[in-house]
Structure 1
């Protein structure tokens, strides 16, 4: 979304604060500024900020919306600023020429509709100030009336319907569903067939608009228009999205309505638009504002517990500070006691409906950078009673563990660009011959036209984005669904992906993270084997009861663009089932000491550590008793490069021995180590470089 800095200053007094400072503050409070572009329009210098507004923040999809959020933050930080909402001066009806009705038949789909009529309009070109305001954010001027419609929409975030009043039959505006199939030619000259599912704004004979998001070609205004009807509404966002997708309507009106506008400003928006049109065209306001609002939308009532704020944020914030932030965000405190507040959240904040949402708002304005990192690591325990751990409990344990290891959670859209991701998608299809991707027939965004069959697609994009901005140490994880077709069935599955990009962290670091997670949640006796993935190099599959549930390896250089990316994808649903079906068994620590032996070897580069590991494990067939003394096999050191043959690499592996019955002697340990050396030399062609005995 593009925001003009000069335009923004009309609603908030930020004269002494640079656009760069404003940009940083907006980013701090969750309105990320992607870029700032300097521009000059008719000797007026301006800065255009490209702001990335999250889909749930419909209240910030306008210049005044941004100013309102900015005001709260700046005031809390001690700046002396004033919020300047456009004042409707001297609004009044000039003549009583028109009398009309508004009838809402579909009260669940249209909660409110307001309208007014202006007469003696002269549709002409717009004044320069209006043309330049719209031009600054990339909107072309149409005429003075339509330009005001667009101006007010970008000023206040509320769409307005503009109809030629002389084309409205019966002096009635009816919001209803289509009764019978009807052909509707819209202002974009596309003929659409409407049916009983479709909501329309209609007169007594014909539709004037499809749900306020696109008008009929015959109700549009032109240079011959003398009288206009202005309408302002609140529609059910889900209904608007459904209609927009069904009829491939992509207008800014739809974008705002489907995210949710402020139901309490429809009359104010009409007054603002009518006042501006009257000022420019010298027209007359020739009717009362008719406002139909059968069931007013109430504020959201939320209980906010002080203790919950401390638990979530990790810091004690004073009660006065909390109340001040709420007040700045126009959240009304209805009642309070020592433990909690009962607050009323205005309906335009559709993203704040739960206690956790309120806490996020407090933290957003208070400043995340003011929360210091704790010196303590919090670790959740697996439930020890007879009840099975819930999925939420397991998820919390794993997520906390990953965060404590320095990983950050990311969230990517479930759709991918089939064209730009063609190579990756083609490689995926090659690896999973029986699995096919799912295309989207009517994508809302042409660039996202296929459902992701793996979390790797979004992970690669996120890593590249961060790497290109100077982040050379990336540790990400993502939790989400993947989608695919198999045997003519459409399937979805939840997965957990983990990725690392670093010059100092490699495959074994990521494998160790996976093993630590398994140890933490009690998954043991899993097996590992090589896998033939065209996406991952030297990859392994981790299995439980002969079923794959982890794929782990280095991302192919053709995909990663020569970056060292190591990636793992976990079948979440299978992991949960493993943990929930396992019985927790207490195994006491051995009271006898653990012994360690290191083995250095030179081996072909094409042979991964996993093959060494599996070769040692197979010794169990011949050394049934003694092999149980091997507690663990780990990589101690790895090297390839100078002073080694091109085709070789060096491993130092550590073998840990332990017994629950006795202290192990060197004789027993050395005997097993000789067996290990023999297998590695004979089966894998390795050269033993030194043995610590």
Structure 2
């Protein structure tokens, strides 16, 4: 949203610089994203003056040039060589003096220099309108009809506007500030100054005109509808001040009638719409809805099919306008328009939002209506607009003012306690300052006691309806920067933190796994008792037995997802579907001394080939790395990084890993032991991961930490260690991260050796280290020192032998 400093000064006295005003508004919640200088003519016509041609003679060496002497307000006239055919003595002209920079309508800017043209000195340039950027004509120099003294700056003659424009990133809740008046209201409170708001002029009927009647069929969608007929209009270009104002906000002037409605919208925040009164059939306006599928052609000449839910402004033939959103082509103001019906209304934000979203139309009017305008503004805005129509377009009031407002919208009434103000702000605010701030924001205090008061808030403040909102108003005017930090930090929350949606989290994980080619399993929670009795890793005593069991095969609740998953593997393998990757979210059950407990698990299964044979390569079986990569993807999606990994070689795995987060176990993964496979009658290898879904969802975080990519290069160094077989990679990695510090960015294992070339009970790791400094290029000295620290740490902590 753009705001003109010049226009703000019409409402409130401002002596502060644009930058100071911007800082003040930003601190109060109206964030100023940019301050831009605006000049209605490029370059501001600096160095260009009004002059008078004293003499004009033909150039002795050029038939198409003239030598003139021009009075530009200096002690002596200036000699200027001019190529225009219409130059003559006695003319008032526009002169660009030496050093002036011109910004032509077309072409690049250029600077005027003292020069010799065909042997004659030229001290400036007599200009055509396109040469100074105020028009397109190049038929000849401009000849002015003015009594202004010679040397008068041309910017005064052409009413060049210079302004500073504030670009405000308006938040959706501050609909009240979507205008110059709204911003001025905040400055009034911030600067403790009064606002000059002209009184609305009573609109007396001056002449007879087209009679317009209005019917509102849905008062809940249109609580207030006002309008008036203005006739004897002369549609023409707007005066320069109005064009300059609109251009400073990034709008193109259209004509005086439309420009006035746009001026009121940006000035007061109240959208208006002007209908050509002669095009309103039978002189009747109806505010209501049209049936679904009705065709309507908007101002952009596009035919649109109505949804039936949008609010329409209609006559007896059909739609004239999508209320609060976009006008219709057939009823708009044209150059031939002489009489208009000027509409000013308050529409329900919900109904405008529906129409705007359905048709994909985002206009300045809908932007304000769908956030909530001031229901008390329509008549005042009409009064201001009609005054301008009378002044600028010669209009005359030709009807009584129509104002349908059957159920006036009441002020918001909010109970406030001083104790709550001080608690939420974190600082005691004197009650007298509270009263001053709120009254400066047009919030009235009633029923004042030592404990608190009743606040009466005008309905244009749609975002101030609760006690917390009142306190926020006090704080933003008092100043966030004036609240000191206490020695002990604490906070109060105005709303509960959102609870994690576990169903949504599971659904997203399901989507990810399905996208990776996994099939989801849904298996029975009832299982065979012999799985616990014969597996060796489940305690039969902890099984939850079913009293009214249907069969012995379904006699207990499952303690693990492994066997129900293996049954699915066997079923598919027996039907020649041996390449399987699958997952299951399921609940497991156990009996304990304190009763019963259950928990959610996530199981991952791999079996068979990960890729089929082809002429490019043979078939590849699933390996541990495939299972580990899948688990890594799951943890990465949940933003969880295991703190430790331990090797296991116990049931139900032949070998595998335990993943831990602190002291808690996230899950286990590895190759399923043959004994388990036989129990489920599976005749091929199965890779299995069992993850604690309850713990993962509890620890899952949507927050990720990012840092800027270093400008300095990485360096790789390799190291070969001989260590005990019992030493895990996670131990080696932890030692490296601690000893290498922030310079060690990544650690990898690219080879592992166990054999007769090294001592029994030993293994060799070939490690790669990626070193990088975020602030400097690494030198050989720093790299060697870091690697020495790593080798020393490995030798001292795990008895490593460094292989050369």
Query: Which TM bucket (shorter chain)?
Result: 0.5 to 0.7
Q: 1:169 to 1:650 in 2, by over 3 A?
A: farther
1:258 paired with 2:258, answer: no
Query: Counterpart of 1:464?
Result: none
State the alpha-carbon separation in 1 of the partners of residues 326 and 745 from structure 2: 63
1:322 paired with 2:434, answer: yes
Q: What TM-score comes out, normalization by structure 2 length? A: 0.53
Quote how far apart the aligned CAs of 1:192 are.
0.3
What secondary structure sits across from 1:93 in the alignment?
A: coil
State the alpha-carbon separation in 1 of the partners of residues 802 and 703 from structure 2: 23
State the alpha-carbon separation in 1 of the partners of residues 441 and 703 from structure 2: 47
Deviations 1:93-147 (A, max 9, x none): 2124344322111122111110100011111111111111111111111000000
1:278 paired with 2:390, answer: yes
Quote how far apart the aligned CAs of 1:646 are.
9.4
What secondary structure sits across from 2:408 in the alignment?
A: coil
State the alpha-carbon separation in 1 of the partners of residues 786 and 668 from structure 2: 20
Query: Counterpart of 1:239?
Result: 351
Indicate if the aligned counterparts of 1:72 and 1:325 stay in contact, CA closer than 8 A: yes
Quote how far apart the aligned CAs of 1:379 are.
8.4
What secondary structure sits across from 1:369 in the alignment?
A: helix
State the alpha-carbon separation in 2 of the partners of residues 653 and 367 from structure 1: 56
1:368 paired with 2:480, answer: yes
Indicate if the aligned counterparts of 1:156 and 1:269 stay in contact, CA closer than 8 A: yes
Q: 1:105 to 1:73 in 2, by over 3 A?
A: same
Q: 1:188 to 1:606 in 2, by over 3 A?
A: same
State the alpha-carbon separation in 1 of the partners of residues 220 and 702 from structure 2: 50
Query: Counterpart of 1:145?
Result: 257
State the alpha-carbon separation in 2 of the partners of residues 113 and 90 from structure 1: 18
Query: Counterpart of 1:8?
Result: 8
State the alpha-carbon separation in 2 of the partners of residues 311 and 370 from structure 1: 15
Indicate if the aligned counterparts of 1:511 and 1:552 stay in contact, CA closer than 8 A: no
State the alpha-carbon separation in 2 of the partners of residues 178 and 324 from structure 1: 49
Indicate if the aligned counterparts of 1:12 and 1:84 stay in contact, CA closer than 8 A: yes
Quote how far apart the aligned CAs of 1:434 are.
4.2
Indicate if the aligned counterparts of 1:178 and 1:194 stay in contact, CA closer than 8 A: yes
Q: 1:184 to 1:375 in 2, by over 3 A?
A: same
Query: Counterpart of 1:630?
Result: none
Query: Counterpart of 1:550?
Result: 700
Query: Counterpart of 2:337?
Result: 225
The equivalences for 1:619-634 within 5 A come to none
State the alpha-carbon separation in 2 of the partners of residues 653 and 530 from structure 1: 33
The equivalences for 1:61-72 within 5 A come to 61-72=178-189
Indicate if the aligned counterparts of 1:315 and 1:371 stay in contact, CA closer than 8 A: yes
State the alpha-carbon separation in 1 of the partners of residues 186 and 205 from structure 2: 33
Indicate if the aligned counterparts of 2:412 and 2:459 stay in contact, CA closer than 8 A: yes
State the alpha-carbon separation in 2 of the partners of residues 245 and 379 from structure 1: 38
State the alpha-carbon separation in 2 of the partners of residues 650 and 551 from structure 1: 35
Task: Say which structure, 1 or 2, has more relative contact order (CA 8 Å, 6+ apart).
Answer: 1
Query: Counterpart of 2:246?
Result: 134
Query: Counterpart of 2:445?
Result: 333
Quote how far apart the aligned CAs of 1:37 are.
1.2
Query: Counterpart of 2:136?
Result: none
Indicate if the aligned counterparts of 2:212 and 2:229 stay in contact, CA closer than 8 A: no
Q: 1:607 to 1:271 in 2, by over 3 A?
A: same
Q: 1:172 to 1:435 in 2, by over 3 A?
A: farther
1:607 paired with 2:747, answer: yes
Query: Counterpart of 2:296?
Result: 184
What secondary structure sits across from 1:606 in the alignment?
A: strand
Q: 1:171 to 1:600 in 2, by over 3 A?
A: closer
1:54 paired with 2:171, answer: yes
What secondary structure sits across from 1:263 in the alignment?
A: coil
Q: 1:45 to 1:284 in 2, by over 3 A?
A: same
Quote how far apart the aligned CAs of 1:377 are.
3.3
Quote how far apart the aligned CAs of 1:265 are.
0.8
Q: 1:250 to 1:647 in 2, by over 3 A?
A: same
Quote how far apart the aligned CAs of 1:435 are.
6.0
The equivalences for 1:58-457 within 5 A come to 58-75=175-192, 81-89=193-201, 91-179=203-291, 181-378=293-490, 392=496, 432=512, 434=514
State the alpha-carbon separation in 1 of the partners of residues 703 and 161 from structure 2: 55
1:21 paired with 2:160, answer: no
Deviations 1:62-87 (A, max 9, x none): 11111111111100xxxxx3311133
Indicate if the aligned counterparts of 1:601 and 1:686 stay in contact, CA closer than 8 A: no
Q: 1:223 to 1:44 in 2, by over 3 A?
A: closer
State the alpha-carbon separation in 1 of the partners of residues 802 and 450 from structure 2: 71
Indicate if the aligned counterparts of 2:409 and 2:459 stay in contact, CA closer than 8 A: yes
State the alpha-carbon separation in 2 of the partners of residues 599 and 285 from structure 1: 83
Q: 1:379 to 1:341 in 2, by over 3 A?
A: closer
Query: Counterpart of 1:34?
Result: 33
Q: Which sections of structure 1, spanning at least 5 residues, go unmatched? A: 76-80, 381-390, 396-427, 437-486, 488-509, 516-522, 532-541, 565-596, 610-637, 655-672, 688-693
Q: 1:608 to 1:324 in 2, by over 3 A?
A: farther
Indicate if the aligned counterparts of 1:602 and 1:686 stay in contact, CA closer than 8 A: no
Query: Counterpart of 2:106?
Result: none
The equivalences for 1:486-565 within 5 A come to 525-527=663-665, 547=696, 549-550=699-700, 560-562=708-710
Indicate if the aligned counterparts of 1:599 and 1:653 stay in contact, CA closer than 8 A: no
Q: Which sections of structure 2, spanning at least 5 residues, go unmatched? A: 41-154, 500-507, 517-582, 584-638, 645-660, 670-690, 713-734, 750-771
Q: 1:137 to 1:435 in 2, by over 3 A?
A: farther
What secondary structure sits across from 1:336 in the alignment?
A: coil
Deviations 1:352-406 (A, max 9, x none): 11110110000000111111100113389xxxxxxxxxx93898xxxxxxxxxxx
Quote how far apart the aligned CAs of 1:231 are.
0.5
Deviations 1:148-191 (A, max 9, x none): 01011010011101100011112221110113531000001110
Indicate if the aligned counterparts of 2:640 and 2:700 stay in contact, CA closer than 8 A: no
What secondary structure sits across from 1:291 in the alignment?
A: strand
Quote how far apart the aligned CAs of 1:545 are.
5.1
Q: 1:323 to 1:607 in 2, by over 3 A?
A: same
Q: 1:209 to 1:544 in 2, by over 3 A?
A: same
* Larger-Rg structure: 2
Deviations 1:288-326 (A, max 9, x none): 111111211111110011100011011111111111111
State the alpha-carbon separation in 2 of the partners of residues 195 and 545 from structure 1: 46
Residue range with higher mean Cα deviation, 142-151 or 250-259: 250-259
Q: 1:677 to 1:71 in 2, by over 3 A?
A: same
What secondary structure sits across from 2:391 in the alignment?
A: helix
State the alpha-carbon separation in 2 of the partners of residues 355 and 264 from structure 1: 23
Deviations 1:185-224 (A, max 9, x none): 0001110011422210111221110123111101011111
Q: 1:93 to 1:677 in 2, by over 3 A?
A: same
CA RMSD of aligned residues (A): 4.3
State the alpha-carbon separation in 2 of the partners of residues 226 and 170 from structure 1: 18
Q: 1:265 to 1:563 in 2, by over 3 A?
A: farther
